[in-house]
């Protein structure tokens, strides 16, 4: 997995049963698929679990690896991108999914405002919100 020159990294919450309550853990996922770039290696994914979201986790997961990491703007990835990191700094390739989502939300808000200004009833769900 870590022989790939490009990885996508993300984390998500996962409920964890604890004594008398449910805690929130993190599931860290790193995937590679170099087929679009002419790579011969098969796609792969690796998962790690942690009890929290501290930046030490991605640093440990990707220790010894350098390449291009596509991820969100999570600050915990910051140490990976620093000059002087060994074996080399990771190159950040930001994910646009969060920005794209906000653009679509703004388009829906504007569409609702235009309908309201014309005296029409706004839709509950707008076509832009359901397009991939």
- Say if residue 83 is in the same domain as residue 37: yes
Do 112 and 129 contact (CB within 8 A), yes or no?
Answer: no
- Say if residue 52 is in the same domain as residue 114: no
Task: Identify the domain containing residue 88 by its residue range.
Answer: 6-95
- Say if residue 27 is in the same domain as residue 68: yes
- Say if residue 10 is in the same domain as residue 55: yes
Residue 22 falls within a domain, yes or no? Answer: yes
Joined together, the tokens standing for residue 36 give: 């679009």
Question: What total number of domains does the chain contain?
Answer: 2
- Say if residue 24 is in the same domain as residue 77: yes
For residue 81, pLDDT over 80 is answered with yes
Residue 115 falls within a domain, yes or no? Answer: yes
Instruction: Give the 3-state secondary structure percentages of the chain, helix then strand then coil, rounded to 5.
Output: 30, 30, 40
Distance between CA 32 and CA 11 in Å, rounded?
A: 15
Do 27 and 49 contact (CB within 8 A), yes or no?
Answer: yes
Q: 13 by DSSP, 3-state: which?
A: strand
Question: Which has more confidence, 131 or 68?
Answer: 68
pLDDT score at 2: 85
Element (H, E) at 30: strand 21-32
pLDDT one-digit tens code per residue, 84-131? 999 999 999 988 777 788 888 888 888 888 888 898 887 666 555 555
pLDDT score at 132: 53
pLDDT score at 128: 54
pLDDT one-digit tens code per residue, 20-38? 999 999 999 999 999 988 8
- Say if residue 117 is in the same domain as residue 76: no
pLDDT score at 126: 53
Do 88 and 62 contact (CB within 8 A), yes or no?
Answer: no
């Amino acid at each position: 997995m870590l022989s790939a020159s490009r990885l996508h990294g993300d984390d998500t919450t996962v409920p964890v049963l604890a004594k008398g309550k449910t805690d929130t853990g993190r599931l860290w996922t790193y995937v590679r698929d170099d087929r679009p770039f002419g790579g011969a290696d098969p796609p792969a994914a690796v998962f790690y679990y942690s009890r929290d979201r501290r930046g030490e986790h991605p640093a440990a997961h990707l220790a010894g690896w350098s390449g291009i990491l596509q991820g969100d703007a999570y600050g915990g990835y910051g140490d990976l991108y620093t000059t002087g990191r060994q074996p080399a700094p990771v190159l950040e390739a930001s994910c646009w999914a969060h920005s794209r989502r906000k653009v679509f939300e703004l388009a829906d808000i504007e569409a609702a405002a235009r309908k309201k200004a014309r005296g029409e009833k706004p839709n509950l769900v707008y076509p832009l919100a359901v397009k991939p």
